[in-house]
Amino acid sequence: MMSVRTLSKCIVTATQRKRCLRYFSLHRLPEGHLALQAVAKRFAADKLKPIAAELDREHRFPSEQIKELAELGLMAVTADERWGGAGQDTLALAVAVEEIAKGCGGTGAIVSIHNCLYVDLVNRFGSDQQKEQFLKPYTDGTLGCFALSEPDAGSDVGSMLTTARLEGDHYVLDGTKSWVTSGTEGKAAVVFATVDRSLKHKGITGFLVPMCSDGLSLGPKDDKLGIRAAPSCNMYLEGVRVPKDDVLGEVGDGFRMAMKQLDKARVGIASQALGIGQAALELAVGYASQRKAFGKSINQMQAVKMRIAEMALRLESARLLVYRAAVLCDEEDRSTKESSMAKLAASEAATHVTHSCIQILGGVGYVTAMPAERHYRDARITEIYGGISDIQRLLIGDIVIKQYE
Amino acid sequence: MARVLVGVKRVIDYAVKIRVKPDKKGVVTDGVKHSMNPFDEIAVEEAVRMKEKKIASEIIAVSCGPAQSQEVIRTALAMGVDKGIHVEIPAAEYETLQPIHVSKILAKIAEKEKIDLIIVGKQAIDDDSNQTAQMTAAVLDWPQATFASHIEKGDKELTVKREVDGGMETIKCKIPAVISADLRLNEPRYATLPNIMKAKKKPIAKMTPKDLGVDISPRIEIVSVEDPPVRQPGVILPDVDALVGKLKEGGHI
């Protein structure tokens, strides 16, 4: 006997039906998104791809290209027009990030993180006064950062050690943050610290902190395996004074805010993974049509065909998940399951595709003369930052179990 | 301030490898990436720059072709053009559409819209005709400044530097005039995200050649389309005598 409760879950409301139609129509991007994709694709091909190897080799930040991307409106895609943003949806951001990452994985990381973990965060949770100071100036290519992880708190970020002590009308921040992307270039950061460790994650609060603040210093740039164009470093906070007015959102609400923002950031990372994967796929297919062995092009051989098919399938499947998560991210309060699935699928697809790309290229896939090895190195981070794959699986498992209980 | 008409054509993207259709009546276009003719992009950019310098008041982009031609009009709108006109031509008739037809269409629109300057790309990269600008000027009895690499607009006249085989030629011509854009005229801008979104709201008027009183019945018949002949490998010869011998054999000397 079906209970009324179960029956009510079966009835699809008009709103849900409308949303369903939106999902299914994602087999083809809307016109505006296609136009944006064309521009981002062209910019990446003209301005990023030619210098990507150099940026990687020299661990160099693409300052000029970031300024140009800002002129195109791509450094504040989802921020309201009132604050200098383009006022677009997460799908537009996803599409743009994928194309940019396809040209240069590191630049893709910079754009994704600045958009998803700084600009959009302040746009969503900031007061008008905070947006005036910490959002508006950050839409023209000036970079903002996100400082959540610590040397002793990554996956277990709820147990962070950075503290915020209230002193009159200021908070005083003490602690160390790690893996701050664009730390060496940014002018401000959203820094998470706890006002009371005994409250566990309910003490965590977000603070808007200018990088030039007294007591704030940076460590040397991390020497990374990949995305070398995107600098990251430690941030040291020693008695950094932050006015109460610069608390982002509510005191004690920082953890929830960060987790909610990660729903969007995971879409960004997933898009980055798609772009890197796509570059590797196209490289592999192009090479396979040229390389001859045993009297024919290697793309005529079943072993290579099978590999290419698997690469394309994984990338395409992940892409649909990413688009879906991007749309849901804007339509629902939380899109955790879909965002996690997208990030997990896209990152593992990227590492698979870049691995297979080197395999198809053989010896030349192993040398720096071809970009295959760089794609391989760039892809690897997507399985780690924004929440390691293992955490994504735990999240998805928990949600699905609850869903079908 | 001048009212400017820009002609934009949707062509197969320059980076695509062209394949001849099995029936040898044309090239494969289905599912193939298309974009705005690169020389037309340069034409649009020039018009937009004129508007920014307040030399032009309104820019209208025109494209002739089937429904997909609207894509390049949208691109032009995203670059800064004010409004678009799509002259709808069904796919079958589009196969035999020639510059002679297009020039008449552009001329009629120019008259309707009280245009002062027509700017088009010097040629389309699919047919390489290099005729539309010249024919349009002839139909309208306007002066033409083709292969423009630099344009200066005065009150009633244009000073245009043209790249010709012999070098650079500078000419003056009265307005209204037709200009064709060459490669070094400018570097087209990327459409910005805000402009792409604004472009969605800009109008694209639709009309047919019949509305303009232009007859587009075919003047040509496509007999066949074939790949260029495969280049034959050369031969390395031991000495000059052998070379002379071979040339004589081949009837070349």
Q: Give chain A positions within 8 Å (CB) of B193.
A: 36, 39, 72-74, 77, 86, 88, 92, 96
- Above 90 in pLDDT, residue A360? yes
pTM for this model (two decimals): 0.87
For residues A85 and A79, the answer to whether their CB atoms sit within 8 Å is yes
pLDDT, tens digit, for every residue of B33-53?
999 999 999 999 999 999 999
What percent of chain A is predicted at pLDDT more than 70?
Answer: 93
pLDDT band at B31 (very low <50, low <70, confident <90, very high): confident
B160 close to B150: Cβ distance less than 8 angstroms: yes
Say whether pLDDT at A21 is over 90: no
Q: What is the pLDDT of residue A377?
A: 98
pLDDT for the residue B197: 87
DSSP A348-398: HHHHHHHHHHHHHHTHHHHSTTSTHHHHHHHHHGGGTTTS-HHHHHHHHHH
Pick the range with the lowest mean pLDDT from A203-217, A272-286, B236-250: B236-250
pLDDT band at B252 (very low <50, low <70, confident <90, very high): confident
Distance from CA of B194 to the nearest CA of A (A): 6
User: Which chain B residue lies closest to A46 (C-alpha atoms)?
Assistant: B190
pLDDT over 90 (residue B194): no
Helix (H, G, I), strand (E, B) or coil at B195: helix
Q: Is A298 helix (H, G, I), strand (E, B) or coil?
A: helix
CB contact under 8 A, B193 and A71: no
- Cα-based angle B25, B31, B35 (whole degrees, multiple of 5): 95
Nearest to B71 by CA among B187, B196, B158: B196
Contact A39 B197 (CB under 8 A): no
pLDDT band at A17 (very low <50, low <70, confident <90, very high): very low
Helix (H) or strand (E) run with residue A336 in it: helix A336-361
Cα separation, A244 vs A261, in Å, equals 22
B78 Cβ under 8 Å from any chain A Cβ: yes
B76 CB within 8 Å of a chain A CB: no
Nearest CA in chain A to B199: A32
Q: What is the pLDDT of residue B79?
A: 95
- What is d(CA B198, CA A92) in angstroms, rounded to the nearest whole number? 15
Place of tokens 């820019």: B59
Residue B233's φ and ψ, nearest 5 degrees, are -70, 155
Supply φ then ψ for residue A38, to 5 degrees: -65, -45
Structure tokens at B180: 């064709």
Instruction: Assess B193–A contact: CB distance below 8 Å, yes or no.
Output: yes
What contacts A390, CB < 8 A, 6 or more positions away? A155
- Verify cis geometry, omega within 30 degrees of 0, for the bond prior to B218: no
Does A23 score more than 80 pLDDT? no
pLDDT tens by residue, B113-135: 999 999 999 999 999 999 999 99
Closest chain B CA to residue A76: B193
Whole-Å CA distances, B137 to A222, B143, B229: 63, 6, 37
- Counting residues of chain B whose pLDDT is more than 70, the rounded percentage is 100
Interface test with A, best of B13, B70, B193 (most A CBs within 10 A): B193
CA A377, chain centre distance (Å): 17
Helix, strand, or coil (residue A104):
coil
Query: In this predicted model, what pLDDT tens digit does every residue of A319-350 receive, in sequence order?
Result: 999 999 999 999 988 899 999 999 999 999 99
Query: Which member of A35, A86, A88 has the closest CB to residue B78?
Result: A35
Nearest CA in chain A to B72: A35
CA dihedral sign of residues B65, B66, B69, B70: positive
Give the separation between CA B33 and CA B14, rounded to whole angstroms: 9
More confident residue, B193 or A62: A62
Nearest-CA distance A47 → chain B (Å): 11
Average pLDDT over chain A, rounded to an integer: 93
Give A-chain residues touching B192 at CB under 8 angstroms.
39, 71-73
| B196 inside 8 A of chain A by CB | yes
Q: In chain B, what are the domains? A: 2-225 (3.40.50.620)
User: What mean pLDDT is predicted for residues A5-18?
Assistant: 48
Q: Is B70 on the interface with A (CB under 8 A)?
A: no
Q: In chain B, positions 28-47, which contact chain A (CB-CB < 8 Å)? A: 35
Kindly indicate the confidence band of residue A122, based on its pLDDT and cuts at 50, 70 and 90. Answer: very high
Exposed (0-12), middle (13-18) or buried (19+): which is A21, by Cβ within 10 Å? exposed
Hey, what are A92's tokens?
A: 């537009």
**Residue listed under structure tokens 């200018």:** A210
- Residue whose entry in the numeric block shows the structure tokens 């090239």: B27
From start to end of A148-249, where are the E strands?
Answer: 163-167, 170-181, 188-194, 204-210, 216-218, 232-243, 247-248
Domains of chain A (ranges; CATH) run: 22-139 (1.10.540.10), 144-251 (2.40.110.10), 255-400 (1.20.140.10)
DSSP one-letter code for B45:
H
Residues of A in contact with B35 (CB under 8 A): 38
How does residue A26 score in pLDDT terms, banded at 50, 70 and 90?
A: low
Is B193 within 8 Å of A43 when comparing Cβ atoms? no
pLDDT at position A8 is 45
| CB-CB neighbors (< 8 A) of A93 in chain B | none
For chain A, which residues lie within 8 Å of any Cβ of chain B, measuring from their own Cβ?
31-32, 35-36, 38-39, 42-43, 71-74, 77, 81, 86-88, 92, 96
Any CB–CB contact under 8 A between B137 and chain A? no
List the end-to-end C-alpha distance of chain A, in Å, as a whole number: 17
Q: Looking at residue A327, what is its pLDDT?
A: 94
Which residues are A208's β-sheet partners?
Answer: A190
What pLDDT does B14 receive? 92
Q: What mean pLDDT is reported for chain B? A: 94
Bridge partners (DSSP) listed for residue A72: none
On whether the CB atoms of residues A315 and A349 are closer than 8 A, the answer is: yes
At B108, is the pLDDT very low, low, confident or very high (cuts 50, 70, 90)?
very high
Q: Chains A and B: how many Cβ contacts under 8 Å?
A: 42
Residues 6 or more apart in contact with residue A112 via CB below 8 angstroms: A97, A101, A265, A268, A269, A271, A272
Which DSSP letter does residue A220 get? P
| Structure tokens given for A386 | 């924004």
Does A1 score more than 50 pLDDT? no
Q: How far is CA A225 from the centre of its chain?
A: 18
Measured CA to CA, the distance from residue A168 to residue A204 in angstroms comes to 19
Q: Determine the residue among A28, A34, A36, A37 to mutate to test chain B binding: the one whose Cβ has the most chain B Cβ atoms within 10 Å.
A: A36
**3-state SS assignment for residue A50:** helix
Q: In this predicted structure, which of A21-35, A186-200, A383-397 has the lowest mean pLDDT?
A: A21-35
Q: Is pLDDT above 70 for A51?
A: yes
Determine whether the interchain pair A35/B199 forms a contact, defined as Cβ–Cβ distance below 8 Å. Answer: yes
pLDDT band (50, 70, 90) for residue A25: low
Enumerate the residues of chain B whose CB falls inside 8 A of the CB of residue A92.
Answer: 193
Residue with tokens 């746009």: A123
- Residues B81-93: what's their mean pLDDT? 96
Kindly tell me if the per-residue pLDDT of B210 is higher than 70. Answer: yes
Distances (CA, A) of A100 to A55, A70, A157: 14, 13, 29
Per-residue pLDDT of A233-271, as tens digits, reads 999 999 999 999 999 999 999 999 999 999 999 999 999
**From B35, B78, B193, residue closest to A88, measured CB to CB:** B193
